[in-house]
Chain A
Amino acid sequence: MRTLIILTILISSCAPSLYHVTTDTTFEQMENLPFKRKLIYLSQDIGTLSKLDSLATSMNKKKWKNFDERIKVFPEEDQQFLRSIKFLISDEFLTSYNTLDSLEDANYDCQVGLLKTDCMYELSADSVDFKGNYQNSMNCTKSEIIKSIINTRYRFLRYGQ
């Protein structure tokens, strides 16, 4: 019985997060997977593609020590944005929301608003108009990549997958 419990805990702790960090290198591949994930996009406005790729790998593999080292080279505001993603992936939704709260809503291709909606969704905030929030993020962004990410988020809201 104890072995079974330990095994269950181990399996659930190793399970990949529903959230997945992408860059220009991996976005298309992840977007076309038959089973959707909730994607977060690191654009090259933040840093060079090679830096972003290794950062995304650290985040997706939840190698947080490595992540903490890597983000030191980024400006403070970018560090804050990246940290909010770390908290989101680590299921620390309230901390993630608070970290995002001081960032401009329209920054990072309007992902600040989108990620805040994600946090509220995960926190099961019943009074939130999720569709309205996704529509606001859609109206805010000019990026086709982010539009596609928002449409997938709305798919999760409508159909659960």
Chain B
Amino acid sequence: MANKLLSTALIAISLSSCVGTKTLYKGLTKEQSTIEYLYDSEVNSSEKTDTIRIAIPTISDDKFTKSGDLTKTKASAVPLIIYTGWKNEHEYFIGDNMIEEDIPSFIQKSIIEETNRSTLLMADSTSNSDMVLEINVETIGAHGPYRSQGYFLFLMFFYSYSFGESAGPGTASSELSYVLKSNDEVLLTGNATNQVETEPLVNNFKNTNELRKFFSSNLAEGISRTLKANVEQITDEVENYIANRR
């Protein structure tokens, strides 16, 4: 009976310790996450003075792939008879397929909303305004480490084991460049860059599936935070430029 229990435990531990890259990738990419956020800038309810068209942004970052990437960065094991220990580390890069929204449309919508909310400009995507804001996503992405580790110690009359997974902290960043034009004449150009660190995820998860799912949303949230900061910066700079011309 004791032997059966021990071998079952050993099999269970070995299975959970040998999380393959494919299985882990499947767990991390099970569900898409939204990058929507709440607007918290001050509402400017004064009458609008100018109109501006926000063109659909382009993305020139070819490192931000559709399916993301998961690479094993560290792997170690101590396979002794009385002691077995292992440690694996993967680096996960979130892909476009994990984001619920279409990124260019999302940025366009966010710039329009932020402009209409906090500035004296009236923005939309279809007007015939002479003034056009063009945006390019230079870089965008988020990545972070995912670790699994454990050990099994077997002595004659006693055994002990432990295994677990943890993730993060991850890094998310985005860089948007913009050109403000009036009748094809360039009025203003600029860049907005932002980077944030996501929190480490260790305990408090019911199971590894939940941890993997949350790690992925955590990275998506990081992207959302950087885009929010960049959208606010661009809106602010464009508003200041136009205000100085008035």
Contacts and interface: CB of A to CB of B under 8 A. Distances in A.
Interface of A: 34-35, 131, 134-135, 138-139, 147, 150-151, 154-155, 158-161
- Category for how many chain B residues contact A: 10 to 19
Contact of A151 (B38, B199, B200, B201): B38
Contacts of B43: 139
Interface string B214-231: 100110010000000000
Interface of B: 33-34, 36-40, 43, 199-202, 204, 214, 217-218, 221
Contacts of B202: 34
Given A34-B200, A35-B204, A159 B214 contact: yes
A150 B40 CA distance: 10
B200 A135 contact: no
A151 B40 contact: yes
Contacts of A135: 38-39
A34 B199 contact: yes
Contact of A154 (B38, B199, B217): B38
Q: Which 5 A-B pairs have the closest CB atoms?
A: A159-B217, A35-B204, A147-B40, A138-B38, A34-B199
A158 B221 contact: yes
Given A34-B199, A34-B200, A139-B43, A161 B36 contact: no
B189 to A, nearest CB: 31
B221 A159 contact: yes
Contacts of B40: 138, 147, 150-151
Contacts of A34: 199-202
A161 B214 contact: yes
A154 B228 CA distance: 15
Contacts of B221: 155, 158-159
A139 B33 CA distance: 25
A54 B199 CA distance: 31
